[in-house]
Structure 1
Amino acid sequence: MASRTGKQAASRPGERTAGPGRPRPSLSPRSIVDACLELLDADGADALTFRRIGARLGADPTALYRHFRNKDDLLLAVADRLLEVSLEGFEPAEDWRETLRGLFLRVRTVYLSHPRAAVLATVRITRRPAEMRVIEMILAALARAGFPPEQAVPHYRALVDFMLSWSCMDATYASLDPAARAGDESAWTGAYAAVPAATHPHIAAAAPYLAEVEDDANFHFALDLMLTAIAAHAPSS
């Protein structure tokens, strides 16, 4: 759009517009979803408007409604896209525990690569193909462990809620202002290391080890605890 001075108005960084005389690009659900991820990565949830998405794609915002009913429908598609990326190249292992471990590590890795999108995605049920593939894989793995459906379901929910909750927490933390993150991370070598043993003997004794805990290693540790507990419950054991 031209300004009152006749000069072309500047686009926002990273946004693409169709120039005069150029045909507008054809849209697809995939291109729209990928543009949403780019916007979320760059500017967060507040940037996710049909106007901004259309500008990034060089398309009329109203054209997006041919593919998505509303913003919530689009958000569910973004959430499913993250799961779809997690599944790329993934094949279940012979060992049901390795299948679940590998799948959950992949999903968490993708969520943390798009933390601002993950904060929105981890609390939703997409009802879409990638989510259904993930659920089918998890239930199939639990069936291989010997669980009948009525027993597999509560174990499935416990595992998935664990992974989603942890991933949402990590994604939210990654989305914090860097100064806030730095303050929290220094707490273990600062405030907790200085707690007097007279009033908090257990914290004082554990303080050197609290500072050594690494987030990724801690997730692996917690996931293995969950899988070990489920294996102990499995009828095949």
Structure 2
Amino acid sequence: MAARANGRAGAAGGGRTVSGRPRASLSPERIVEACLELLDTEGAEALTFRRIGAHLGADPTALYRHFRNKDELLLAVADKLLEESLDGYDPSDDWRETLRGLCVRAHQVYLAHPQVAVLTTVRITRRPAEMRAIDMFLGALAEAGFPPEQAVLHYRALVDFMLAWSCMDATYASLDVQTRTKDESAWSGVYAAVPADTHPHLAAAAPHLASVEEEANFRFALDLMLEAIAARADRVAR
């Protein structure tokens, strides 16, 4: 009976490890953190209960007490990234700055966890951090003067833009260094050598192509979106 009791404690994440050290109890938060660590270092292949359990020093079956399946765990990880982006953030008095801040912070968090972003930017978490973020976005758009039916459309356009850009940047960041170096050098190499008689506009712009910095380009595109939303808000106010 004692052996079985110890086995059950181990399966739940308590008891002691093989080394004899106390094993910390599992919790949804601890499992999500472990999953995030594994995805950051090993990629999508690490997203298995067996691998996560081994990382935590727990029986994989213990994870099912907190998450029914791998997809439910992935959604919790996705919400964890949104929680990170909102940590310590307060909306601005200027609705444009609120929208800009939310987008920039989310984009930065996704780039800090590119392997995770590739898997999660297309998902809807249905969890607290996502709901809080949506409420902030819609609140800012309401301050801009949009009624709910229009606020929703502008919210989706802006956030889908941010998520798509973040996924693109995260996918690129997930490439090996050699591949990224070849792609980046193309702007100052192959494209700089394009003849003006066949590609006049490309040849004229070629010296500037290599100077575009990715984060600055994201913020430039974001400003274009915000300027368009502001122009529409002005029309609604008239």
**TM-score (norm. length: structure 1):** 0.91
In the TM superposition, what is the alpha-carbon distance from 1:31 to its structure 2 partner? 0.5
Name the CA distance, whole Å, in 2 between partners of 1:79 and 1:202.
42
Aligned to 1:156: 155
Q: How does 1:68-217 map to 2 (within 5 A)?
A: 68-217=67-216
**Residue by residue, what CA displacement relative to the aligned partner does 1:187-224 show, whole Å, maximum 9, x if unpaired?**
10011001111110110000011111000110110000
In the TM superposition, what is the alpha-carbon distance from 1:23 to its structure 2 partner? 4.4
**Residue by residue, what CA displacement relative to the aligned partner does 1:33-66 show, whole Å, maximum 9, x if unpaired?**
0101100111100011111111111111000000
Segments ≥4 residues shifted beyond 6 Å: none
Name the CA distance, whole Å, in 1 between partners of 2:24 and 2:153.
46
Alignment partner of 1:188: what SS?
helix
Name the CA distance, whole Å, in 1 between partners of 2:220 and 2:22.
53
Q: How does 1:55-70 map to 2 (within 5 A)?
A: 55-70=54-69
Q: Which runs of 5+ in 1 are unaligned?
A: 1-16
Asked whether the 8 Å contact 1:25–1:59 carries over to 2, the reply is: no
Q: Percent identity?
A: 75
In the TM superposition, what is the alpha-carbon distance from 1:24 to its structure 2 partner? 3.4
Aligned to 1:47: 46
Q: Which runs of 5+ in 2 are unaligned?
A: 1-15
In the TM superposition, what is the alpha-carbon distance from 1:22 to its structure 2 partner? 4.3
Name the CA distance, whole Å, in 1 between partners of 2:124 and 2:158.
15
**TM-score (norm. length: structure 2):** 0.91
Name the CA distance, whole Å, in 1 between partners of 2:211 and 2:17.
52
The one-letter code matched in structure 2 to 1:236 is: A
CA 1:60–1:194: 2 relative to 1, 3 Å = same
The one-letter code matched in structure 2 to 1:64 is: L
Name the CA distance, whole Å, in 1 between partners of 2:148 and 2:51.
45
Alignment partner of 2:191: what SS?
coil
Structure (1 or 2) with the greater helix fraction: 2
In the TM superposition, what is the alpha-carbon distance from 1:21 to its structure 2 partner? 4.2
